[in-house]
Structures are given as C-alpha cells and as structure tokens.
Chain A
Amino acid sequence: MNPTVSCRRATELLSEQLDRELSLEEKAALKAHLLICRGCRAVDQQFRFLRDAIRDLVDGDEPPSRG
C-alpha cells in the first residue's frame, strides 16, 4: 500500500478500523496521515462519536441502573 494516503482514503480507513483489524501497513499509513491532517483527525473523532450516539439512541431511556 502506498505509504502516503489521500484524505479520502484516510476516511475509508477510519471507517474500516471500526469494523475490522487494519493491516500493519494500513495502520502505519493511517497513523502517518493523521499526524499531519487535522481534518482527518476530526473525522476520526466524529466516526467514533457516531458509534456512541447510536448506542445511546437505542439504550438511552434504559433506567440509570444499567451497568
């Protein structure tokens, strides 16, 4: 894999890392990209937040006693 990835490709990897284990090459390329790209760092935060938000949407009115 090309060691430098585009922002579009980085967003694909940011999505895929939530669904599968990335290869070492993919991880390295993504990590290098995130170091220099604050836009993609924001997307990383946003994708992770979406996961929390969906769980909250489904479980949100569970009594506070839930573990």
Chain B
Amino acid sequence: MRPDFHRELEALRPVLVRYASHVLRAPQAAEDAVQETLLAALASPTAFDGRASMRTWLTGILKHKCIDVVRREQRQAPVAAPDPEAAAHEFEDLFDERDHWREHPHEWQTPEAALQQKEFRRVLESCLSHLPRRTVQAFLLREQLGREIEEICRDLGLSAANCSVLLHRSRMALRLCLQKNWFRA
C-alpha cells in the first residue's frame, strides 16, 4: 500500500461528499455512500493501479454506491409516475394554447464564461436544489453519472416515456432558473 494511501483517501472525502450530495440530496445518505466507498477502497488498495487519478478511481466506486442507494430508495418508496394530465398543463406560462412560445427564449451569450465563475456554480446548485428530489435524481443519473435512459428507468422503476418526461421537466426548469438568476438580459 502507498504510505500515504489513507491520508490521500481522507483528503478526497469532501470532494466525494459533494459528488454524492448532488444526486442523493440527503446529507446522511451522501455521507454513508462516501463512507462505504472509502471502506471499499481501503479493503482493496491494490485495485488502484495508479493509471487514473485517485479521485477518478474513487468517484467510479462512489458512482455505483449512489446508484445502489437510488435503487434501494426506489424499492422502499416507489416513484410515482408523472401524471400525464398535469404534464400537458405544465409550462403553461411559457406556451400558448397552440403550444407555441408566448415569448421566444433568447440564446445565452457566452455561457461557457459562466463555467469559470464560482458564483455560477452556486446558482446552478441552488437551481438543482429547487427541483423535486426524484426529478433531479433522474436528471443527475443521466448528466452526472452518465447512465443510459433504459438504466435510469430501471433504477427509478419508470417507463421510458415517464423518464423522458422527468428529464425534459428538469431541463426546462433548470433553463428557466438559470435564465432568471444568471443569464437575465
């Protein structure tokens, strides 16, 4: 084992907790997933071959722990499928009765510059925190953990159509939130 292995693991704990907090939402669940990850790493330090960074190795383990937690939660409290009736009335402020924009969205100017700013990350995290838990989980399983849509449906026990509804809802809500709190003209 590398002499500083233990210390290197501990140093990465805050990064890992932040990673798990986004998708799991509950601080205790995030702490638990990280704890399990660190224990798994300590149990088989030789699995770390040094080719990837230690952080990449650990987030790889943590990713699977997070998916396990989401599935466990799904078994304990199944996700309600989105109500198609309600979905049809969603975003009524945005679309007219013919489902065309009431007011056209505008392209964001140099959005990539926002990624350089700490304050933008804070705003994005706040926007994520305002989404319903299951909705944000579907979105982050996709965008943070890179899960395929079929896998997300299985993780959350939803049909493909319902998964797509959650992902669309997340993206629409996040673009509105960022429009209001960061990109306002």
Interface residues of A (CB under 8 A from B): 6-9, 11-12, 15-16, 18-20, 37-43, 45-47, 49-58, 60-63, 66
Contacts and interface: CB of A to CB of B under 8 A. Distances in A.
Nearest to A39: B104
B181 interface: no
Contacts of B95: 6-8
Given A6-B99, A16-B164, A45 B107 contact: yes
A8 B142 CA distance: 22
B175 A53 contact: no
Interface in B112-143: 112, 114-115, 120-121, 124-125, 140, 142-143
B108 A58 contact: no
Nearest to A44: B107
Interface in B73-116: 91, 95, 98-101, 104-108, 111-112, 114-115
Contact of B111 (A8, A9, A49): A49
15 contacts: A6-B100, A8-B99, A8-B100, A15-B168, A15-B172, A19-B142, A38-B107, A41-B107, A42-B104, A49-B108, A49-B111, A51-B143, A53-B115, A55-B144, A57-B124
B149 to A, nearest CB: 5
Contacts of B22: 57-58
A43 B91 CA distance: 14
Interface string B21-54: 0100000000000000000000000000000010
B179 to A, nearest CB: 8
A54 B131 CA distance: 15
B57 interface: no
B168 A12 contact: yes
Contacts of A43: 105, 175
Contacts of A39: 101, 104-105
B167 A19 contact: yes
